[in-house]
Structure 1
Amino acid sequence: MKNIDWKKGLPHLVAILLFLGLTITYFSPIMFENKDMAQADLISGAGWGNDAKQFHEETGEYTFWSNAMFGGMPANYAYMPRTNNIFERFSKLVMFNLPPIHVGVVFLYLAGFYIFLLALGANPWLSIIGAIAYGLSSYNIIILEAGHVNKALVMATMAPVLGGILLCYRKKFLWGSLITLFFTGLNVLWNHQQISYYLLLIIIPLAIVYFIFALREKKVKDFFLSSGLLLVIAAIALLPAADRLIPTADYSKETMRGGAVLQQTATGEKSGKSGLDIDYAYQWSYGRLETMTMLIPNFYGASSHYNIGRDSETYEALKQTGQAEQFSKHAPMYWGDQPFTSGPVYMGAIICFLFILGLFVVKGPEKWWILAATIISIILSWGKNFMVVNEFLYNSLPLYNKFRAPSMALVIAGVTMVALAIIALRDILKAEDKKAFIKPLYYSAGITGGLCLLLALLGGSLFSFTSASDVNYPQWLLSAFIEDRQGMLTGDAWRSFFLILLSAGGLWLYLNNKLKASYLMALIGLLVLIDMWTVDKRFLNNDHFMPKQVAKAIKPTQNDLLILQDKDPNYRVLNLSTNTFNESATSYFHKSVGGYSPVKLRRYQDIIDFYLSNRGINMNVLNMLNTKYVIVPTENGSTVQQNPDALGNAWFVDSLLWVDSPDDEIHALGTLNPATMAVVEKTWKENVTVEPVVVGDSASIVMTQYTPGKLTYQSHSDKARVAVFSEVFYKTWRATIDGQPATPIRVNYILRGLEVPAGQHEVVFECVDELYLKSARWSSIGSIFVGVILFSLVGLLIFTGLRKRKETN
C-alpha cells in the first residue's frame, strides 16, 4: 500500500465517481423508479427474430433461422446470444455492469473519452471537461432514446482506441497495447460496421500525418515499429468477434448490400454494382447549412416531433381546435434536408469556439490529423447535398457503398472537435507566454461569437423556414410554424453567443493573470456541463421514461388477436395498414411477408420491387408465400381479410418452366400459376431427374412438425414428384428424405423445391450454419487468447510500475 501514489490516482477516482454520478443522475428514473425508455427502434424491431427468441426461451436451444419477417431470414443476425465468449463477459466491466445497457453506454462514453484525452497529454481535469462534452453531445444521447444501442456502444470505443494508438506512436507500448487491444476488440465485437469504418477514417489521416512527421524528424523506423505493432494488435482484436465477422461477410453477399442478382431492376433500369442504391443510401444526408447545428442546436428546428411548449405560436394557433396540447408536444419543427430527424448534431457552442481556437494555437501533428478527419466527416455527412465529391467517394471508397445515412459520419467530428478543443486548453495552460494567445482568442471568439450574434440579430429574416413536408398543413398553421422556427433559431443563437462570451471572457481573464488556471477549468467545465445537459434534456428528459412494463410492452391489436385464433399457426400475414416493409411489429405476433431489417435478402427485395410494392400486388406471389391473412386499411382503421387461395406449406406442381437467367425467372412469375407450375433456372437442372406430371388427388405433402429451424413433412404420391415449399431458399438449409440427404433446388426465384420419390416419405428441412459454428469455436478460442494477453499486459504494467518505484526510492 505504501507504493501507491494516492495523490496521483485521486483525479482518476474523482473522474470515475463523477461519471457515475452524472450517468445515474441523468437516468435516475431508470435507476431508482423502475422506469425505462420506449426506444422506438427497439420496439419496432422487436419482431425481428422474436420467434427465435421464444424458441430459445422454451427449449434452451438456438435456431439458425427466423420466419418472423420477409418470408424467413438467418436468425443469427437477430437473436443469437454468445454463450462461450469470455471477452464479451469482460466487456460489461467497463460499464460497471450498469443496468440497463444504455445507461452503461453513457458511462463508457465518458470514461472512454477521458482515456483518450489523457493519452493526448491533457491533465485529468481538462480530460473530465472533454469527456463531459463528448459523452453528453446531443447525437450520443438522442440515439439512445431511439434505441440505437449497438451503434452507441461502438461509438463509445472510438476515442479509447485512438488513445491507445497515440500511446503506441509515443512508444508507451504496454499501455498503448492494452488499451488498443481491449477497445478495438469491443469495437468489432459490438458489431456496427459503419461506425467502425468511420473510426478507420480517423486512423488513416492520423497515421499519414504521423508518418510525415516521422520523415521530417528522421524517425521512420519508430513509426513502422509502432504501426506494425498496431496491425498485429488489430488482427488479434478481431478474434473474439469471428462469429460475427466471418458469417456476416459471407451473408452480406446475399443481401441488399451485396451484388445485384438481376441485370435489370423492376423499373427497367440497369442494375448497379454491389452495394446499396445511391439514392436509397443518401436519403439521410445532412444539409450543408444544417452543419450550423453543431454551433446552434435549434438552427434547423431541432426535431420532426419537437415539444414546442405552450408559449409557442403553434400552440396558440391550435387552441381553438382542441388539439393544441397534444400537437405541440410533437410539432414538426424540423425544416432541413433530411426526411425527418429526432434531433440535431450539436457539438456545443463552447467546443466549437475552442475548436476554432485550437486551429490557431495548436502546433504539431495533432492539429493536422484532427482537422483532416473533421473535414472528411463534414463532407461525407452532406451526402447527396455535395454529390460532386460524394458520388465519387461512394463509387470509389472500398466498402463505402454498403452503408446508408451519411449524416452519421458526423460521429467523426464528434470525436475530433472535442479533442482539438481540449488540446487548445492544454497548450494554453502549459504555455509560459500567455500574451501570445490573446489575438487567437479574439479571432476565434470573433468568428464563432460573431456568427452567433449575426444570426441572433438577423437570422429570422435570412431563411424561408419551410420544408417540403409543410405542404401538408394549412397556411394559418404553417405561419405559426415559421414564427416558432424563427424564434428557435434566434433564441439558440443568443444562447450560444453568451456561452462563447462567458468562456472567452474566462480565457481572457486567465491570459491577463486575473484568473487562476483551476478557476478557469472549473468555469469552462461548468459551462460545458450546463450547455450539453440542457440541450440533451430537450430530446431525452423525464417525460420519455415510463414504467418498464409499459415502455417495453408490445400489445396485439384486435386484428392480431383475430388472426391468432387460427389453430394452424403456419401461415403468413401481409400488413398493408402500415409501412409494410419498414416495420416489424407484425412480425412480433405472426410470420410476416413484410418486416424491417438492414440485412434483407437481395432476392426478397427483388420480389418486393417487382410484385409487392407500389407497382401493384401480385396475388399469385402472395399465394406461393402462403399468405393466409391480409390486414388492409379502412376509413376507420384497418381490418383483416382472409386469402382463400394461399397455397399452404407445400404442394406438388405438375410442370416446370426452365429459364436461362434470374431475370427470366422473376419475369415469369408475373404470369405463372404457382399452384401448378414452378419456374426454375437451368443451373438446377441436374438436380431434377424426372419431369413432373399431373398429380392425382391421392398425392399430397403436408407439414407435420414445425420449429423455426426444422420443418418436417409427410409426402404421399404414386410417382416421383417435384414439391414446392412456401419457404425462402437459403444455402444453410439441408434436406433429407427418410433420413437420407437430398438436394433442394431454388424455384420461383426465392422458394425451395425438392424432388420427392414415389411412395410415402418423411421430408425434413433443417437449417445448420456450419460456417457460424466454426466461427463460434474460433471466437471462443480467440476470446481466451485475447484475455490471456490482456491479463499479461496488466501484469507487466504492475511489475514495471513497482520496479520503477523501487528504483526511484
Structure 2
Amino acid sequence: MTNNLKRSILTHGAIILGFFIVTVIVYAPFFFESKQLAQHDILQGLGSNYQLKEYRAETGEEALWNNAMFSGMPAYLTSVQFPGDILTYVYQIFKLGLPNPEGITLVCFICSYIMLLSFGVRPWVAFAGAIAFGLNGFNIISLTAGHNSKIAALAFAPLVLAGIHLAFTRKKYLGIGLTSLGLAMQIYMNHPQITYYLLITVLVYGVFQLYYFWKDHQIKSLLLTLAGLVLAASIAVGANSGKLWTVYEYSKYSIRGKSELKDESKESSGLDKEYAFRYSNGILEPLFLFIPNIYGGSSSQELSTQSATAGALRQAGYNGQQLRDQLKAMPTYWGDQPLTAPYYAGALSFFLFVLGIFVLDQRTKTWLIVVALIGIVLSWGSNFTLLNDLLFDHFPMYNKFRSVTFAICMTLLSINLMGFMALERVLTGMSDKAFRKKLLWSVAICGGTALLLVIAAGALSYRGSIDARLPEWLIDALRTDRKSLLRSDALKALFFILAFSGLIWAYWKNSLKSGLIISGIILLLFVDIFSLTKRFLNKDSFENRPVKTYFKPTEADLYIKSIATSGERVLNLQNPFNEARTSYHHESIGGYHGAKMRRYQDLISACIQAEMSETINVLQSGGSQLPNTPVLNMLNTRFFLAGSSKNAVISNSRSLGNGWIVSNLKEVASADEELSEVCSINPSRTAVIDGSKFSPPNLIAGATGTVKLLSRTPNEIKYTTQTSGKSLAVFSEIYYPKGWKAYIDDQEAEILRVNYILRALPLEKGTHEIRFVFEPTSYYAGNTLTIVGEVLVFLLFIGGIWMERRKSSL
C-alpha cells in the first residue's frame, strides 16, 4: 500500500468519523438521553402499518392488503416488503446502522461528499459542503415533520450525479457502476416526486454535455457513455421492479389516476390543480434560501420572552408557563401559503453560489444555474401560471405531484455543488487582481442585499393572511417581531459573509496557513447552517417514547377491541380522513395517506361526509337515536368514536355486517349515475351496478339468504353462504381489480363491482363456500425481477471498480 493511498484512506476515514460526530451533535437527545424525534407523519405511518407488521411477525407472511385504512386498500404504499431484497442491507451500510431519521442525515453527508469529490473538490472542502447540504432547511424541516422517504430519496440524488459526472469525465466505468447503484437506492427510497426532480436535473446536465461533446467533436465517446448510463439506469429500475410495478398499477386507481366522473376536474388524469398548487412559493419567497426569516420563517415559530409579542401577551394576562406555551407557536409567517417553513441553504452557501457565477467557467456553472432557476420557477406554482399551468396540463406526470415547493430541492442541490466548486476554485489559486474583483462583486451583491434588508426592514408591511384571525391587540406586536426576525437574520448573513471574505482575503495575502483557513471556513459554515437547524431541531423536538405515548390505547379503544369482530369498522368522528391513530387499533373508515383510492374519495365527498355530519349533529343535540347512514352501514361501520372514554363509543346496530344477500339490482350507465344512486338506496335490499362495465346477473325477486364470515386475513377471506334462489352476495370489502380472485366452491368466479366500491358475487340456490384471495402478479413477478435487477446492479458496480483498477495498472 502506497503512502498516498494510506493518506487517502485516513483522510476519508476521518471525514466519515466527522460526519458521525456531527450527526451525534445534531441528534444529541437521541444519543445521550434515548429520546426520539417526534415526527408527525412517521407516527401516522406507524398507525397505518401497525396491523400489517403484526401480521408479518405472527405468520411470517407479507400482508399485501391493508384492512386498517379507508375500509381496505393495497398495502404497496404503506408497509410491503419484498423477500430477498438486498438494497435494504445496502441502505443500512450507508447509514452505518443508525435508525431513521439520524441515519438519513448521515446518508446526506456521505452522498453529497462523494458528489463533491467527483466534481474535483478536495476532501475537507467537500466535508464542509456535505455538512451544509445535509443540514439545509429543506432536509431538517422535512425530517422533523416525518418526511423520511422524501429526504432519503434526496440524500441519494448526489450519488447519482456523482456517477453520471464520472462517466462523462475521467472514470467512465466507475461512473456507470456508481450511477446504477445510486439510482437503484434513490428509487428504492420510494418518493417519485424527488426522483422526478432528479430526472429533470440529469436531463439538464445531459443536454449541456451533448452540446459540449458535439462542440469538441467527441460524438462517439458521448454515445458510448450514454449507452452505458442507459444500461445502468435500466438495471437500477429493474432492481426496483416490484415497487415500481405495484405502485404504477395502483396509481391508476388512486387519486393520482384519472377520474371516471365527468364533472371531476374535466376528466383529468392526476391531481386537481388547486390541490397540487396549494403550497406555492411567492415570487420573492425563495430568498429564504439566503435569509430564512425573509417572510417570517415558519408558519408557527417560537418567539422569545423578550419579544414584542410576549409583552402584548403579558398585558393580556398571560404569564408563566401559559405565556411560554403561547410563544412556542406564534404565526410569524406573513406570506400566502397555508403552511410553510424556510428551506434555508445557508448564507455562506448562497454567497459561494453567487461567487461561483464569477469564478467558474461556463461549462461548469451554466447547467447548475439553469437547474437552480428551474427549481425556483417550479416552486412558484400558482404564482407563476404562465409556465406552471402549461407544465401541469401537458408535461408528462407533472400533475401527479402535490406541494410544488418541493422543487426547491433542485435549487438547493445546485447551490451546494456550484458553491463548493467555487470555493475549491478560489483555494486552488487565482490571480490577485482577478480574485479581488470577483470577490468584491460577490460581497457587494450578497452583503449589499443583506444590508439593504437591514436598513429597509421598516418599510415592509408584514401583513399576513393569518392576521385576519388574530385579535387586534396582538397584530401590531407580531408585526414588530416579524420585522425583528428579518433584520436579525439579515445581520447574521452579513456577518458570515464578511467573516468568510476576511478568511479568504487572509488566504490570498498568505497571512494564515491554508489549514487554518479551511478550518475557519468549516467552522463558519457549520455555525451558519447549524443556527437554523437548532430552530427546528432542538431538545423540545425529542420525547421519551413518542410512539408508546401517541398510541397508548384509550378506554374507548380497549372497549371496542373487547367486543369488535373481524371486519367491523370504526369511524372516528374527529378528523377521520387525516389521522391513522384509529388504524393502529381498529379497522378504520378513515386513515392517513396521500394516495387513497379515487373511488373511495369520491364516496367520501358525495356521501360519507354528509352522513358523518348528520351523525355529529344528532349526537351534539343530545339525540338518542342515530340517523340512517346507508353508505356507512354498507361499509360495516359498527362503531362511531366521539372521544377517548368508553361512553364516547356509539354502537351502530344498522351496520350490514361482512356480507349480505340482495335480490334487487339497479343498473346504471355511468360512474356518475352509480355514485348518485348509492347515496340514496337501501343497500340491505338493493345494489347498484354500472352496466357499462359489468354484465348484470339475472336474479330471482324475493330471494333471501345469509352470508357468514369464516376467516379473514389481509390476503384471504372465507365465507359460507345460504340462499333461497338466484341472488347476489354483496361483501363489505373494497373492490380492486388487480390481484383479487374469487372462488365459489373452488371454482373461480368473476368479481362484480357494486355500490360504487364494493365486491359482489352472483350465487345459485343453496349453500356455498366462498373464498377471496389476493395474489397480485405485480408483486410476485415483480419480486423476481427485483432480485435479478439487484444482482445486476452489484455486478455492474463491482465490474466498474475492477475495470478502473485494471486501466490504472496498464
Instruction: Report the TM-score when normalising by structure 2.
Output: 0.94
Q: Once the 2 structures are TM-superposed, how far is the Cα of residue 512 of structure 1 from its aligned partner?
A: 4.1
In structure 1, the residue matched to 2:481 is: 484
Q: Once the 2 structures are TM-superposed, how far is the Cα of residue 676 of structure 1 from its aligned partner?
A: 0.7
The answer to whether structure 1 residue 532 and structure 2 residue 523 are counterparts is no
> Residue 158 of structure 1 aligns to which amino acid in structure 2?
A
In structure 1, the residue matched to 2:298 is: 303
The answer to whether structure 1 residue 605 and structure 2 residue 635 are counterparts is no
Residue identity (%):
35
Of 729, 736, 739, the match for 2:743: 736
Q: Once the 2 structures are TM-superposed, how far is the Cα of residue 539 of structure 1 from its aligned partner?
A: 0.2
Distance 1:766 1:312 in 2: 62
Distance 2:380 2:549 in 1: 35
Q: Once the 2 structures are TM-superposed, how far is the Cα of residue 775 of structure 1 from its aligned partner?
A: 0.3
Distance 1:510 1:252 in 2: 55
Task: Please give the secondary structure, in 2, of the residue aligned with 1:356.
Answer: helix
The answer to whether structure 1 residue 591 and structure 2 residue 587 are counterparts is yes
Q: Once the 2 structures are TM-superposed, how far is the Cα of residue 25 of structure 1 from its aligned partner?
A: 2.3
Distance 2:760 2:566 in 1: 22
In structure 2, the residue matched to 1:208 is: 207
The answer to whether structure 1 residue 709 and structure 2 residue 709 are counterparts is no
> Residue 695 of structure 1 aligns to which amino acid in structure 2?
A
The answer to whether structure 1 residue 276 and structure 2 residue 267 are counterparts is no
In structure 2, the residue matched to 1:653 is: 662
Distance 1:781 1:763 in 2: 37
8 Å CA contact 1:438–1:511 kept in 2: the answer is: no
8 Å CA contact 1:434–1:512 kept in 2: the answer is: no
Distance 1:673 1:457 in 2: 69
> Residue 790 of structure 1 aligns to which amino acid in structure 2?
F
1:774–1:519 Cα change, 3 Å = same
The answer to whether structure 1 residue 27 and structure 2 residue 27 are counterparts is yes
8 Å CA contact 1:378–1:413 kept in 2: the answer is: yes
In structure 2, the residue matched to 1:807 is: none
Task: Please give the secondary structure, in 2, of the residue aligned with 1:334.
Answer: coil
8 Å CA contact 2:83–2:783 kept in 1: the answer is: no
In structure 2, the residue matched to 1:418 is: 416
Q: Once the 2 structures are TM-superposed, how far is the Cα of residue 422 of structure 1 from its aligned partner?
A: 1.1
In structure 2, the residue matched to 1:239 is: 238
User: 1:395-410 alignment to 2 at 5 Å?
Assistant: 395-410=393-408
In structure 2, the residue matched to 1:548 is: 545
Give the count of matched residue pairs: 791
> Residue 56 of structure 1 aligns to which amino acid in structure 2?
R
Of 270, 284, 288, the match for 1:289: 284
1:90–1:637 Cα change, 3 Å = same
Which 10-residue stretch deviates more, 776-785 or 86-95? 86-95
Residue deviations 1:343-389 (CA, integer Å, cap 9, x gap): 31101111111111111221131211100000000000111111121
Which 10-residue stretch deviates more, 312-321 or 63-72? 312-321
Residue deviations 1:782-801 (CA, integer Å, cap 9, x gap): 21222233233334444555
User: 1:636-675 alignment to 2 at 5 Å?
Assistant: 639-675=648-684
User: 1:166-185 alignment to 2 at 5 Å?
Assistant: 166-185=165-184
> Residue 282 of structure 2 aligns to which amino acid in structure 1?
G
Distance 1:325 1:168 in 2: 55
Distance 1:770 1:208 in 2: 38
Residue deviations 1:652-674 (CA, integer Å, cap 9, x gap): 11200111111111111232111
Distance 1:481 1:48 in 2: 38
1:478–1:724 Cα change, 3 Å = same
Distance 1:633 1:301 in 2: 36
Task: Please give the secondary structure, in 1, of the residue aligned with 2:712.
Answer: strand
1:581–1:20 Cα change, 3 Å = same
The answer to whether structure 1 residue 719 and structure 2 residue 725 are counterparts is yes
8 Å CA contact 2:45–2:78 kept in 1: the answer is: no
Distance 2:788 2:331 in 1: 51
Of 673, 680, 691, the match for 2:699: 691
Task: Please give the secondary structure, in 2, of the residue aligned with 1:107.
Answer: helix
Distance 2:53 2:506 in 1: 60
8 Å CA contact 1:37–1:551 kept in 2: the answer is: no
8 Å CA contact 1:735–1:763 kept in 2: the answer is: yes
In structure 2, the residue matched to 1:475 is: 472
Q: Once the 2 structures are TM-superposed, how far is the Cα of residue 600 of structure 1 from its aligned partner?
A: 0.9
In structure 1, the residue matched to 2:260 is: 261
The answer to whether structure 1 residue 760 and structure 2 residue 767 are counterparts is yes
> Residue 579 of structure 2 aligns to which amino acid in structure 1?
E
Which 10-residue stretch deviates more, 727-736 or 466-475? 466-475
Residue deviations 1:550-591 (CA, integer Å, cap 9, x gap): 66741233433343332424211222222x222211111121
1:119–1:29 Cα change, 3 Å = same
1:344–1:478 Cα change, 3 Å = same
5+ residue gaps, structure 1:
805-809
Distance 2:68 2:461 in 1: 45
1:118–1:693 Cα change, 3 Å = same
Distance 1:321 1:638 in 2: 35
In structure 1, the residue matched to 2:198 is: 199
In structure 2, the residue matched to 1:749 is: 756
User: 1:494-643 alignment to 2 at 5 Å?
Assistant: 494-548=491-545, 553-578=550-575, 580-613=576-609, 619-632=629-642, 639-643=648-652
> Residue 455 of structure 1 aligns to which amino acid in structure 2?
L
Distance 1:512 1:775 in 2: 61
Q: Once the 2 structures are TM-superposed, how far is the Cα of residue 36 of structure 1 from its aligned partner?
A: 1.0
Distance 1:131 1:375 in 2: 22
Distance 2:66 2:170 in 1: 49
Residue deviations 1:206-246 (CA, integer Å, cap 9, x gap): 11111111222222222222122111111111122111011
> Residue 155 of structure 1 aligns to which amino acid in structure 2?
L
1:432–1:295 Cα change, 3 Å = closer
8 Å CA contact 2:368–2:418 kept in 1: the answer is: yes
User: 1:12-411 alignment to 2 at 5 Å?
Assistant: 12-98=12-98, 100-265=99-264, 271-319=266-314, 320-322=317-319, 323-341=322-340, 343-411=341-409
Distance 1:206 1:784 in 2: 28
Task: Please give the secondary structure, in 2, of the residue aligned with 1:327.
Answer: helix
Distance 1:163 1:142 in 2: 25
Task: Please give the secondary structure, in 2, of the residue aligned with 1:708.
Answer: coil
8 Å CA contact 1:353–1:448 kept in 2: the answer is: yes
Distance 1:649 1:283 in 2: 39
Q: Once the 2 structures are TM-superposed, how far is the Cα of residue 299 of structure 1 from its aligned partner?
A: 1.8
Distance 1:76 1:550 in 2: 23
Q: Once the 2 structures are TM-superposed, how far is the Cα of residue 4 of structure 1 from its aligned partner?
A: 6.3
1:394–1:552 Cα change, 3 Å = farther
Distance 1:328 1:489 in 2: 18
Q: Once the 2 structures are TM-superposed, how far is the Cα of residue 273 of structure 1 from its aligned partner?
A: 1.5
Task: Please give the secondary structure, in 2, of the residue aligned with 1:78.
Answer: coil
1:59–1:314 Cα change, 3 Å = same
Residue deviations 1:672-708 (CA, integer Å, cap 9, x gap): 111110010114554x542242134xx2112121222
Distance 1:638 1:470 in 2: 39
1:258–1:144 Cα change, 3 Å = same
Distance 1:638 1:377 in 2: 52
> Residue 403 of structure 2 aligns to which amino acid in structure 1?
A
Distance 2:246 2:36 in 1: 33
Residue deviations 1:570-619 (CA, integer Å, cap 9, x gap): 211222222x2222111111211111212211111111121123696682
Distance 2:346 2:791 in 1: 41
Distance 2:799 2:354 in 1: 42
Residue deviations 1:295-322 (CA, integer Å, cap 9, x gap): 1112222223322132222233223234
8 Å CA contact 1:735–1:765 kept in 2: the answer is: yes
Which 10-residue stretch deviates more, 30-39 or 484-493? 30-39
Distance 1:78 1:38 in 2: 19
Q: Once the 2 structures are TM-superposed, how far is the Cα of residue 637 of structure 1 from its aligned partner?
A: 13
Task: Please give the secondary structure, in 1, of the residue aligned with 2:551.
Answer: coil
Q: How large is the Cα RMSD of the aligned pairs?
A: 2.1
